[in-house]
Structure 1
Amino acid sequence: MGMREMQAMAYEHRSAPYLLLKSPPASGKSRALMYLALDKLRKQGLKKAIIAVPERSIGSSFKPTNLSEGGFAWDWHLEGRNNLCGAGDDLGKGKIQAFKRFLDSDDETLVCTHATLRFAVDEIADPSRFNDTVVGIDEFHHVSADEANVLGRVIDEIMQGSNAHIVAMTGSYFRGDGINILESEDEAQFETVTYTYYDQLNGYRHLKSIGIGYHFYEGVYFDALDNALDTTKKTIIHIPNVNSSESIGKHEEVDRILDQIGVVGERIGNANINRVTTNDGRDLLVANLVDDNKESRDATVDYLQNITSRDEMDIIIALGMAKEGFDWPWCEHVLTIGYRSSLTEVVQIVGRATRDVEGKRHAQFTNLIAMPDGADEDRKKAVNTLLKAITASLLMEQVLAPSIKFKPRSRIKLGENVPKGTRIIEDENKPVSNRCADILEGGVAEYIADITATPGAMKLMAGDENQGRLLREEDIKSVLRMREADLSDDEIDLLAQEIHLSLAAQATGGLIDGDDLPPDADVVGEKPPCDYTVDGQEETESYTDANSVPEPKLISRYELDSGETGSETYPSGRAGEKFLKVGSRFININNVNLDMISHINPFARGEEILSKHLTPDRLARVKDALTLPRNDVTEDEAVILLPRLKEFFKDKKRRPRHDANDPYEQRLAQVAQFVENYLKKKQAVS
């Protein structure tokens, strides 16, 4: 019917009254919502469809579309009077009245902003007016269970006070503030469809890779802009937040960026778009979305919404716009200046470059960040900035890489095909709850996003490998308990182990296909019985009696390390199986005992990212700034201990270490840090 893979997956769940679609930017969520809404209007008895988007520029994604050209039964129609994403105040009386008129009319479809929906619901004050309506919420991460979140309250009122169907869509379900999107009892009502970046790239015809890069500058960012900006690439530049330390004034920044691109020439109509001639003679079209003038900005947005070819735009400079939902398919590079505290925002920004279009094989996200340096407190703030950016990078690596799929055995039906490399969870004797099973089957990337923002994870990213068990036993479980309060302790423990396995697979380079094992691979453990069909692979034993299924043998870490398992070494060529490499040996993922991998730092790659841009000395300073305890040395204490510090230098020929086993040496290290900071401040004053 003309659907892409993700859209077909969502359409299989079209009968669900509450559907949550978690899919990356550019994966086709807008059109998926059209398919779902039309089926509900034509076959499920609903009368109206209301689509709410976070900002007006995204409304164009829901313009009239001939879906029947691809074989679908109906086309998507939208009357001009029901497109409330045009010019005008989203909270104005005109749009609210148009919304109310739509509810009283025979019209079927309406598109508006989140703000218009919120105010319309407040003014109507009767959620039953939404009976027989499908409400689609684009960028659903704007909703929150927090009482102060107005959109969250509106969705709750519609769910509680009407028979409306809800289709929620987001490319980043987690929130940077750690607040749940929905209350657990509300979320449990939603059927979930999850589609990852990896799934998306596999289905693309043209775009085959996404790069994540961090560049660090000293001084002002303009000095590093030439190295970070390639004007031959279709680029969106996001300048720093006006309240950040990087900002020197948004209008001055735009002018300086334009000057670095080339010589500014003629303006295109009323829009804030100029021709800029580069030093090598190329003419570029550069759009300015930072300008405050409403008339020219509306004209610029209108121009960008109606681009139909690659040659109609080259570079867009933006501040708060051109992020989530903004559609410029030819964009291949997003250059973001200054740190972004929200993982959600980073994922949305990356999504601006991930549209699949002919001629674009690679998309790049570059974050230009201030180098951690300067006084101690400033440096700590900069390190925190840096690590949050790295957290986002690690998250993206996680969702871009093939993830481990999990399947509770209690959900394997007779004769069911199980995807290759699926880790079977043995729960026949005590089946897990439906919610736990949904999480296992739906993917754990969103939980990893929250986990990577915890203090324990950040310590690991700074290279503190001693925190490994703390991360698994405390950080992962605390996130799960916060997000999934209704799960049992056993289920929390199970999910924590499987998430840790996913992280460990990333840290060791991912899973290895059975066909790709070296000829002399040392595979630990017994081969579990194949009691289910694996995507067309030959069956060796059919799955007929659930009570007769043996549990696979789990190998303890002691057995693994000592080599006392008595296991045989299996040859390569085991199609359909996935293996994790631990040390020099390989383990079938269905045989992995989590004790085997507890010593792995799942965030080790954080140092790899750092080392690309930081010298070893600076890396050591980053680590110190993150892991050091608060320095409470007073000036009087420093004066008393300074002679002893000098003695230490003389005897040991080195500086005292903060991580020393001797508390006295640790204290001297703090004194040394205090003295250094004191001298820096004194030098700065003089």
Structure 2
Amino acid sequence: MSADSTDIVIPYKQTGASTLSDGMGMREMQAMAYEHRNAPYLLLKSPPASGKSRALMYLALHKLNQQGCQKAIIAVPERSIGSSFQSTKLTDGGFFYDWHVEGRNNLCGTGEDAGKGKIEAFQRFLDSDDHTLVCTHATFRFAVQEIGDMNRFQDTVIGIDEFHHVSVDEENKLGEVIDRVMAGSNAHIIAMTGSYFRGDGVSILEKEEEDKFETVTYTYYDQLNGYRYLKSIGIGYHFYEGDYLSALDDALDTHKKTIIHIPNVNSSESVGKHEEVDRILDQIGVVGERIGNANINRVTTPDGRSLLVANLVDDTKEARDATVHYLQNITDRDDMDIIIALGMAKEGFDWPWCEHVLTIGYRQSLTEVVQIIGRATRDVEGKKHAQFTNLIAMPEGADDDRKKAVNTLLKAITASLLMEQILAPTIKFKPRSRIKPEQSVPSDTRIIEDNDAPVSTRCADILEGGVTEYIADIAATPGGVKSIGGEPDQANLLREEDIKLVLRRREPDLPDEEVDLLANEIHIGLAAQAEGGLVDGEDLPEDAEIMRPPNEGGHAEQDNMSSSEPSEPSNDATEGQTKAKMVTRYEIENPDTTGQTGDPKRAGEKFMKVGRRFININDVNLDMISHINPFARGEEILSKHLTPERLSRVKDALTMPRNDVTEEEAVILLPRLKEFFEEKGRPPKLDANDPYEQRLARVKQYAEAYAKNKRTSS
């Protein structure tokens, strides 16, 4: 039985910019990447369907023809993606060279990826006069291990598609191979990923290796806002009780081109993969003729429509290869209607007409969520809306099972809300020290005033291009999940606990003041999105109350945005704003005719709405938005779309009586605990109404237990 459901719908402007080509045939993202063509190590972060494959062709061809490289090896995660790198006449679009791959050097055909024949073909390629080869990650990894001598990769450019498969984990052999190639040869590395983060939290490369890479980031927002046809994306979730197959009718619209991802066979939602496929087919309609040797059937719906449905779950090698071959050669919208998959049809899978991905069960990796959504975000004529739906079980059962189920539920919602952040970022960041004279800065850019003490290169790189992946980690922390679960006033905990913990774990070499600065800016960006994003100055309401500093520039302090008058400034400067200008008070401009819509004095400015007032994004500081829960929308969604009884289940399952404070969290919050003692003259209480005080009380418990254990052990 289906329970409740909801959608987040994200609209886009359809400017067409991301799909237009320049004089060399390059789209916007490809031209951005090509500007970095001379970098020996390049990391390209760009969403699915943005044209990464062709960008890699442009880069590799320049290195082969202009930079002394003799060979290009392209490694993809699975065979079906190899077709993205087939021979292409780039000169037709105005480029200098064509991309050509000899048939013998396309190792993504049938056969085992680690088979002896493919390893021998790889070695033959290195010994030949051929210039380009395409293979799977597995073939590349086994071939490098077989060859042993990294000198064989001198003057070679290696492109790694879906680079998030690489990690420093000792079990990750692909990461080890990349490290060996970089250390033992002068090979150029071009790494590409459609994900901004890994789902397991493990770094992709060792820090000293990652620092060698130049990074190009092209966001989902840049891409989707620049599409011609796709106007909006919906991110939704349906909650069901009992058997998910009984709720499928409410989530599946057979009029839409759909990929259905059934649950992992080891998950609680699974009832047996082959049985699930059969029951899904029966729900779609009456199964008819099979198409050749492939696992593709015509299915007649109850209203008489004939649909082509592909089964990628079947394990039979011959049938699966025939099905993959059919799907790789689709050229028309009517060639396929529904695909049922288990481990396939995710990253790199290209079916442009797909408009709905229905995913059953929680996906533990947020990377996987991003990749799945990417299957529906291709821009194609006739497709105005793309939809991602996650069908999730309602929490039920014994205490431990219920807690696990609710945690799963909330993480799924976290992932969905996170996707809204990734798909529609509202604020860009740029240090003043990186703005060149006469350089034009977009109005949605928040300028960090660091001329007097410039931030480090790493900090500046994060501000300009890497904030999104930190938001990903923050959203998956306990504080992020609790915020979505409806625990009030989580803003302080998120700033002090989660954001800084993530930053310090991922960036151990950054000084504390830069960690504080980044935490502040990330939190402001999250709060802006939670409040509905930025408003163009020319679109302000006629009666808008605009908060502004009495002097030009800078960040100002404001304690209570709900009062009718600006409050007196705090005596304590907000931590982490040593890199930003500060002013001591705000003035309120109550416009009559001067603040009307279209006022030229406001054109080109971006404002954040806080309460009833509007503030230029360059004038916002953390004190002003600290009461905003960045993930409050999760609570709103749960409250609105779950019955009181079901919502009670969710909230009850969040109660964790054990002390879950970590040592890292205690180190961060101990100074706050001391401040609390000094200010209140008493210790914090576990039964306080303020969750922040409750948390400090748990930190106190942790510190006392830690000290006691120390004394006992000594």
Does residue 1:567 correspond to 2:587, yes or no?
A: yes
- Give matches, 1:80-95, under 5 Å: 80-95=103-118
- How far off its partner does 1:609 sit? 2.9
- Maintained 8 Å contact 1:215/1:613: no
Which one of the candidate residues 331, 336, 340 is aligned to 1:317?
340
Amino acid in structure 1 at the alignment position of 2:558? S
- Give matches, 1:150-165, under 5 Å: 150-165=173-188
Does residue 1:76 correspond to 2:104, yes or no?
A: no
Amino acid in structure 1 at the alignment position of 2:230? L
**Once the two structures are superposed, what CA deviation does each residue of 1:573-593 show, in whole Å capped at 9, x if it has no partner?**
312211111111111111111
Which one of the candidate residues 117, 124, 127 is aligned to 2:140?
117
Which one of the candidate residues 477, 482, 486 is aligned to 1:463?
486
- Maintained 8 Å contact 1:184/1:485: no
Q: Distance in 1 between matches of 2:257 and 2:554?
A: 52
Q: Distance in 2 between matches of 1:226 and 1:661?
A: 44
Instruction: Give the SS at the match of 1:74.
Output: coil
- How far off its partner does 1:10 sit? 0.7
Does residue 1:453 correspond to 2:476, yes or no?
A: yes
Instruction: Give the SS at the match of 2:190.
Output: strand
- Give matches, 1:118-267, under 5 Å: 118-267=141-290
Q: Distance in 2 between matches of 1:317 and 1:613?
A: 28
339-348 or 366-375, which deviates more: 366-375
Q: Distance in 2 between matches of 1:568 and 1:453?
A: 38
Q: Distance in 2 between matches of 1:55 and 1:374?
A: 39
Q: Distance in 1 between matches of 2:550 and 2:204?
A: 41
Instruction: Give the SS at the match of 2:391.
Output: strand
Q: Distance in 2 between matches of 1:64 and 1:659?
A: 67
- How far off its partner does 1:443 sit? 4.0
Amino acid in structure 2 at the alignment position of 1:592? V
Gaps in structure 2 of 5+ consecutive residues: 1-23, 568-584, 660-685, 695-714
**CA pair 349-82 structure 1, distance change in 2 beyond 3 A:** same
Aligned twin of 1:555: 557
Does residue 1:605 correspond to 2:633, yes or no?
A: yes
- Maintained 8 Å contact 2:45/2:218: yes
- Give matches, 1:249-648, under 5 Å: 249-526=272-549, 529=552, 552-557=554-559, 562-564=565-567, 565=585, 567-569=587-589, 571=595, 573=599, 574-630=602-658
Which one of the candidate residues 128, 147, 166 is aligned to 1:105?
128
Q: Distance in 1 between matches of 2:255 and 2:269?
A: 26
Amino acid in structure 2 at the alignment position of 1:593? N
Aligned twin of 1:534: none
Instruction: Give the SS at the match of 1:512.
Output: strand
Q: Distance in 2 between matches of 1:239 and 1:285?
A: 18
Q: Distance in 2 between matches of 1:338 and 1:32?
A: 34
Q: Distance in 1 between matches of 2:117 and 2:468?
A: 42
Aligned twin of 1:639: none
Q: Distance in 2 between matches of 1:462 and 1:201?
A: 30
Amino acid in structure 2 at the alignment position of 1:618? R
- Give matches, 1:21-32, under 5 Å: 21-32=44-55
Given the two structures, how large is their TM-score scaled by the length of structure 1? 0.87
Instruction: Give the SS at the match of 1:237.
Output: strand
Amino acid in structure 2 at the alignment position of 1:150? K
Amino acid in structure 2 at the alignment position of 1:431? P
**Once the two structures are superposed, what CA deviation does each residue of 1:627-674 show, in whole Å capped at 9, x if it has no partner?**
34259xxxxxxxxxxxxxxxxxxxxxxxxxx97769xxx9xxxxxxxx
**CA pair 129-331 structure 1, distance change in 2 beyond 3 A:** same
Q: Distance in 1 between matches of 2:605 and 2:511?
A: 30
- Maintained 8 Å contact 1:525/1:555: no
Q: Distance in 2 between matches of 1:623 and 1:521?
A: 38
- How far off its partner does 1:181 sit? 1.2
Q: Distance in 2 between matches of 1:297 and 1:465?
A: 50
Q: Distance in 1 between matches of 2:406 and 2:105?
A: 48
What is the percent sequence identity of the aligned residues?
A: 78
Q: Distance in 1 between matches of 2:647 and 2:342?
A: 31
Amino acid in structure 1 at the alignment position of 2:620? V
- How far off its partner does 1:458 sit? 0.9
Q: Distance in 2 between matches of 1:249 and 1:506?
A: 41
**CA pair 553-376 structure 1, distance change in 2 beyond 3 A:** closer
Q: Distance in 1 between matches of 2:687 and 2:48?
A: 43
Amino acid in structure 2 at the alignment position of 1:138? D
- How far off its partner does 1:566 sit? 5.8
**Once the two structures are superposed, what CA deviation does each residue of 1:36-64 show, in whole Å capped at 9, x if it has no partner?**
11111111111111111111111111111
- Maintained 8 Å contact 2:555/2:620: no
**CA pair 575-115 structure 1, distance change in 2 beyond 3 A:** same
- Maintained 8 Å contact 1:50/1:111: yes
Which one of the candidate residues 48, 57, 73 is aligned to 1:50?
73
Q: Distance in 2 between matches of 1:16 and 1:559?
A: 47
Instruction: Give the SS at the match of 1:107.
Output: coil
Runs of 4+ displaced beyond 4 Å: 558-562, 658-662
Q: Distance in 2 between matches of 1:608 and 1:54?
A: 39
**CA pair 320-567 structure 1, distance change in 2 beyond 3 A:** same
- Maintained 8 Å contact 1:560/1:596: no
**CA pair 528-257 structure 1, distance change in 2 beyond 3 A:** farther
Amino acid in structure 2 at the alignment position of 1:240? P
**Once the two structures are superposed, what CA deviation does each residue of 1:92-116 show, in whole Å capped at 9, x if it has no partner?**
1100010011111111111111011
**CA pair 267-560 structure 1, distance change in 2 beyond 3 A:** closer
Q: Distance in 2 between matches of 1:396 and 1:23?
A: 14
Amino acid in structure 1 at the alignment position of 2:212? Q
- Maintained 8 Å contact 1:258/1:264: yes
**CA pair 554-345 structure 1, distance change in 2 beyond 3 A:** same
Gaps in structure 1 of 5+ consecutive residues: 530-550, 632-657, 667-686
RMSD: 1.8
- Maintained 8 Å contact 2:309/2:336: yes
Aligned twin of 1:650: none
Q: Distance in 2 between matches of 1:567 and 1:448?
A: 32
- How far off its partner does 1:359 sit? 0.5
- How far off its partner does 1:559 sit? 8.7
**CA pair 553-362 structure 1, distance change in 2 beyond 3 A:** closer
**Once the two structures are superposed, what CA deviation does each residue of 1:340-361 show, in whole Å capped at 9, x if it has no partner?**
1110011101011111111101
Instruction: Give the SS at the match of 1:466.
Output: coil
Q: Distance in 2 between matches of 1:370 and 1:425?
A: 44
- Maintained 8 Å contact 1:140/1:173: no
**CA pair 285-659 structure 1, distance change in 2 beyond 3 A:** farther
Does residue 1:61 correspond to 2:84, yes or no?
A: yes
Q: Distance in 2 between matches of 1:230 and 1:558?
A: 48
- How far off its partner does 1:338 sit? 0.9
Q: Distance in 1 between matches of 2:294 and 2:550?
A: 66
- Maintained 8 Å contact 1:211/1:365: yes
Q: Distance in 2 between matches of 1:552 and 1:566?
A: 11
Instruction: Give the SS at the match of 1:200.
Output: helix
- How far off its partner does 1:526 sit? 2.6
